[in-house]
Amino acid sequence: MSGFLSLDLALAACITALLAALTPILRTSTHVLRSMFCLLLVATGLLAMLSGLTGLIAGGGAMLLPLGLPWLPMHVRMDALSAFFLLTIGSLLFPVAIYSQGYLRGESQLTVLAIFMPLFVLGMLGIVISDDAFTFMLFWELMSISSYFLVAFKHENQENRKAAFIYLLMAHMAGLLILGSFAVLYAACGSFEFSVMREAFVSPVWASAAFLLAGFGFGTKAGVVPLHGWLPEAHPVAPSNVSALMSGVMLKVAIFGFIRVVWDLMGAGDFQWWWGALVLAAGSCSAVTGVLLALQQHDLKRLLAYHSIENIGIILIALGLAMLLAHYGHPMLAALGLIAALYHTINHALFKGLLFMGAGAVLHSTGMRGMESMGGLIHRMPWTAALFLVACMSISALPPFNGFVSEWLIFQTALMAPQLGGALLTAIVPFSAAMLALAGALAAACFVKVFGVVFLGHARSKEASDAHEVNDWMKVGMAIPAVFCLLLGILPVLFIPLMDGVPQMMLQVSLADSVHAHGWLWLTPVDVSHSSYSASVALLGMLMLGGVAFWLLHPKGTNVRRSVAWSCGNPHTHARMQYNATSFSQPLRRIFAGIYRAEEHVRIERNRHKLLTDHVSYVVHVGDMAVKYIYQPVDRFILFIAKFIQHEHERGLHAYLAYTLLTIIFLLAVYI
């Protein structure tokens, strides 16, 4: 009975999300509408968290809902995988709903958000508890279509309309690919139910077809390179509370779909070696490409969007390692890779949600997204700066925060992996580990730039100098994931055993005993003879070193000498003397010039004399290579075909009759 409690709580979360979407029917004041739908979303987040925790602790169950079509009823099921992703969704939805109460204050066009934001949440919740392809695709389309309206929220801006159109196009392409994957599995078993698909025999050729369709479909939704073109366009223009959910949990729902289809329905025993190699290569490419492009962005939310691509790549590196290790008969190491992928999934949901909420707080206070006009906000927004710094350290994988733990587990998986079959696999595993290390170093450099340019130094504009701290609702909404980031970083030994049901379900192995080998203070992957990590000891050591450094540098009774910063002989310091986002990333732009292929334009004005410079302007543009060499050629080809069809469409009745005659002749030639 306790197993079914988790499923009942999940269904209750779906009902509260649906009720939140119906609140505009009441036609109350904007203030009451905002309070009601935010309160219902808070309840939805809490129910999802409780459902996930109950499912991970007590197990789940299956149920047939009295909904759907007469020949396609809706099946729902709670297992360890569903429970984990429900916990992930609820852990971010709960603080985002609190944050929204303050963020949406003063928003006049609230009806659209009040309808489609809960429907977006309902779609994600429905996907993770679906137990048949019909129910899965129904909620998948609900998630995609409702999020389209959220991206197009400020539709009066051309940028929003363009981003929403690209997003809708890519979302439906992903949906068609996923539907094709289910079609292959349906052809093998004759049923849409996941329980029947698990037992079906699929030939290696058709299994590879289903894997590729699922990989490209879910990869498009997750923003895997080179299928990521929609992501840096859609996330920046959406409201920041929506961006937090899209980047934090919607991308993870795509990861859930990939694990559900490939790991669960097809089974780890049917993995082919090149599946894991392809996922590993895609993850390495996404991790490095995402962070390299993020480094050159000046729009704060666009930078964060590219970092979502990087972190999806990190998750795929762990999944690819796990798939290779499962294929070559190392289930314990494969379980470690799977745990690392899942742990980074919830970690990224928390710190990326916090980063987008912090960016929303800056946007709410200054009205700007461009970092070049910011600066000095730590003096005007100290709470936002402190909480944003926690997220920066977490995403940079610095101990004792959660990002370090999950990336450390991925490194342990790669370092303990034995020599696999063939020279290619022997090389690709350490190469992926090196790419992960490179991505981590570049991410740390990127967020030094972000925090320094946005919060430190002098204000670079009047808007930044007039900024003010956000309201208490927004501060509480940001504080909750910041606390979660610290807890998951300090106490991974208490949380990882909760996730142990997932490798037990997928690989029939458990890591619970090895994790607790040295007690609750030490995290031990797989074997006690290998390396261990204690976040508590690391935190204590850092605090002691910090205390000693403070005591030595600030001895009691000695006054600290303070003076004006040296400004190269100028009498006053001002904002133009400090680094901006462009100048900070210039050295890396030079190092990776072959990848960036940046377009730089320098204009020098000498109006008084040819030797006297009056003004110098420097503009640099770093484009996305995938957009330039994949999306734009496809766009031009489609426009060419459309113009040709338009020309034929205007030829008149005689042309239509000729085409009809040619079609009849062709069909007769084929079937006779």
pLDDT tens, position by position, 543-595: 888 888 888 777 666 676 777 777 776 667 777 777 777 778 888 888 887 77
**Same-domain status, 227 and 323:** no
Place of tokens 């009498």: 571
Q: pTM of the entire structure?
A: 0.91
**Same-domain status, 69 and 157:** yes
Under 8 Å CB-to-CB from 432, ≥6 apart: which residues? Answer: 280, 281, 283, 284, 317, 320, 321, 414
pLDDT tens, position by position, 225-234: 888 888 888 8
Range of the domain at 660: 625-671
pLDDT tens, position by position, 158-171: 888 888 888 998 88
Q: Do 429 and 438 form a contact (C-beta atoms < 8 A)? A: no
**Same-domain status, 228 and 291:** no
The C-alpha angle 152, 582, 387, rounded to 5 degrees, equals: 65
Looking at residue 384, its pLDDT comes to: 93
- Quote the crossing angle between the two packed helices 273-295 and 422-455, to the nearest 10°: 20
Residue 417 located in a structural domain: yes
Residue 211 located in a structural domain: no
Place of tokens 């297992």: 79
Q: How far apart are CA 660 and CA 653, in angstroms?
A: 11
**Same-domain status, 164 and 296:** no
Lowest mean pLDDT among 34-43, 374-383, 414-423, 463-472: 414-423
The rounded radius of gyration (Å) of the Cα atoms in the chain is 27
> To the nearest whole number, what is the mean pLDDT of the chain?
87
**Same-domain status, 450 and 491:** yes
353-371: burial string, b at 16+ Cβ within 10 Å, e else? bbbbbbbbbbbbbbebbeb
Total domains in the fold of the chain: 3
**Cα atoms found within 13 Å of the Cα of residue 468, Cβ hemisphere only:** 3
Looking at residue 208, its pLDDT comes to: 92
Residue 112 located in a structural domain: yes
Three-class DSSP labels, 589-655: HHHCHHHHCCEEEEEEECCCECCECCEEEEEEECCCHHHHHHHHHHHHHHHHHHHHHHHHHCCCHHH
**Same-domain status, 647 and 533:** no
Tokens standing for 495?
Answer: 């949380």
**Same-domain status, 280 and 240:** no
Q: Do 90 and 121 form a contact (C-beta atoms < 8 A)? A: no
Q: How far apart are CA 433 and CA 417, in angstroms?
A: 11
Assign 219 to helix, strand or coil: helix
Residue 615 located in a structural domain: no
DSSP 8-state assignment for residue 470: P
Give me the mean pLDDT over the 616-639 stretch: 78
Q: Do 343 and 405 form a contact (C-beta atoms < 8 A)? A: yes
Domain boundary among 536, 568, 591: 591
Residue 228 located in a structural domain: yes
Residue 571 located in a structural domain: no
pLDDT tens, position by position, 400-428: 899 899 999 998 888 887 767 666 777 88
More confident residue, 607 or 557: 607
Asked if pLDDT for residue 183 goes beyond 90, the answer is yes
How far from the centroid of its chain's Cα atoms is residue 176's Cα? 22
Residue 27 located in a structural domain: yes
Identify the helix (H) or strand (E) that includes residue 47: helix 30-58
Q: How far apart are CA 538 and CA 487, in angstroms?
A: 14
- Quote the crossing angle between the two packed helices 422-455 and 300-327, to the nearest 10°: 160
Assign 85 to helix, strand or coil: helix
Domain boundary among 244, 263, 294: 244
**Closest C-alpha among 302, 294, 289 to residue 626:** 289
**Same-domain status, 396 and 496:** yes
Asked if pLDDT for residue 1 goes beyond 60, the answer is no
**Same-domain status, 641 and 493:** no
Looking at residue 180, its pLDDT comes to: 93
Asked if pLDDT for residue 529 goes beyond 70, the answer is no
**Closest C-alpha among 511, 539, 533 to residue 521:** 533
**Same-domain status, 114 and 37:** yes
Single-letter amino acid code for the residue at 406: S
**Cis ω on the peptide bond leading into residue 73 (within 30° of 0)?**
no
Looking at residue 144, its pLDDT comes to: 93
Residue 279 located in a structural domain: yes
Domain boundary among 534, 567, 591: 591
**Same-domain status, 227 and 313:** no
- Give the model's confidence band at 174: pLDDT under 50 very low, under 70 low, under 90 confident, else very high: very high
The C-alpha angle 550, 556, 560, rounded to 5 degrees, equals: 70
Q: How far apart are CA 502 and CA 509, in angstroms?
A: 9
Lowest mean pLDDT among 73-77, 292-296, 499-503, 654-658: 654-658
Decide the pairing of beta strands 599-605 and 615-621: antiparallel
**Closest C-alpha among 167, 193, 55 to residue 500:** 55
**Same-domain status, 201 and 277:** no
Looking at residue 557, its pLDDT comes to: 61
- Which of 70-74, 448-452, 605-609, 655-659 ranks highest by mean pLDDT? 448-452
Q: How far apart are CA 530 and CA 527, in angstroms?
A: 6
